[in-house]
Amino acid sequence: MDYRKTKENPAIHYFDVEMEEDFKLADSFDEFIQGLYTAEYTVDEEAAEGEYDLPEAHLSKEELEAIFELDVLDEDNLYKIQYYPMVDLNEIEWFFEKMQYHIEKKR
């Protein structure tokens, strides 16, 4: 809200600080509110299914377990674990428990 020229019902502006630009969005707050709308959002089911496909090069749980069985997680193995797809909360909890164990072991 831009109160520089009025004390009541100010114009609505968007100030882009990085570009040092002033965009006037509406002459008043009421006009701004009247211009708001709800956009309908639809999901393309086929496209959404493709978003969660596993990458070609992913690490299996067995491979990750073998890495966690090592005494020391070296840089190569730390790099590899990023390719393990955690698809549910139990997997995430299991993963972080294993990481916590190795972090505490290293201290």
Instruction: Read off the DSSP letter of residue 38.
Output: P
> Which H or E run contains 84?
none
* Statement to judge: residues 29 and 65 lie in one domain: no
Evaluate whether 94 touches 68 at the Cβ level (below 8 Å).
no
* Statement to judge: residues 24 and 64 lie in one domain: no
* Statement to judge: residues 33 and 59 lie in one domain: no
In a domain, residue 50? The reply is: no
* Statement to judge: residues 60 and 101 lie in one domain: yes
Strand partners, 14: 23
* Statement to judge: residues 31 and 73 lie in one domain: no
Report the C-alpha gap between 73 and 65 in whole angstroms: 12
Q: How many residues can be counted in the chain?
A: 107
pLDDT at 82: 87
In a domain, residue 72? The reply is: yes
In a domain, residue 100? The reply is: yes
Give the structural domain span for 74.
Answer: 55-106
Tens of pLDDT, residue by residue, the chain (107 residues): 767 777 777 888 888 888 888 888 898 888 988 988 888 877 777 666 655 555 567 888 899 999 888 877 888 888 888 888 888 899 999 999 988 988 888 77
pLDDT at 50: 56
For residue 98, how many other CB atoms are within 10 A of its CB? 17
